[in-house]
Amino acid sequence: MEKTIERFTISLEEELARQFDDLIHLRGYKNRSEAVRDLLRKELATVKLEQDGSGEGVGALSYVYDHHQRELSRRLTRMQHDEHDLTQATLHIHLDHDRCLETVVLRGAMDRIRSQAQSITAESGVQYGHLHLIPLDGE
Ligand code: NI
């Protein structure tokens, strides 16, 4: 089946266009169209996964927090124990005098992983929360 190609023009500030061309060079894209297609597909896949990816998956949740903040360490540990079947491992790094970095590896149903990640990152004092979610079922 022949695919219909839709053409559209986008307007970019000069600086952004220059950075885009640098990115094209860095990533080895053949041209701007190929780069836009690839970036768009990646973003669509990310949004799909965030919105409605179901089935089994693994997730790496990373965040930074201040361990002086009252009860926060204890709350985070309790949240991980509450979902102990989901929580596979936790890496804890003392970044400096005040801050800690934790990466929690989660495995199970992707909706539960997302929900746990949202609960943890929504805790007051938790910063830079980011979940990298990987589906295990074939797409
Ligand atoms: Ni620490």
**pLDDT score of 126:** 95
- 79 and 64 in one domain? yes
pLDDT in tens, 82-99: 999 999 999 999 999 999
**pLDDT score of 93:** 97
- 95 and 61 in one domain? yes
Tell me, in angstroms, the distance from the centre of ligand 1 to residue 132's CA.
22
Tell me, in angstroms, the distance from the centre of ligand 1 to residue 103's CA.
12
- 85 and 47 in one domain? no
Total structural domains within the chain? 2
Residue 37 within a domain: yes
**pLDDT score of 1:** 65
pLDDT in tens, 111-132: 999 999 999 999 999 999 999 9
CATH value at residue 116: 3.30.70.1150
Tell me, in angstroms, the distance from the centre of ligand 1 to residue 1's CA.
57
Tell me, in angstroms, the distance from the centre of ligand 1 to residue 126's CA.
13
- 98 and 40 in one domain? no
- 38 and 63 in one domain? no
- 41 and 26 in one domain? yes
Tell me, in angstroms, the distance from the centre of ligand 1 to residue 67's CA.
6
Domain that residue 24 falls in: 14-52
pLDDT over 90 at 2, yes or no: no
Question: Quick one: residue 124, left, alpha or beta (phi over 0 = left, psi -120 to 50 = alpha)?
Answer: beta
pLDDT over 70 at 139, yes or no: no
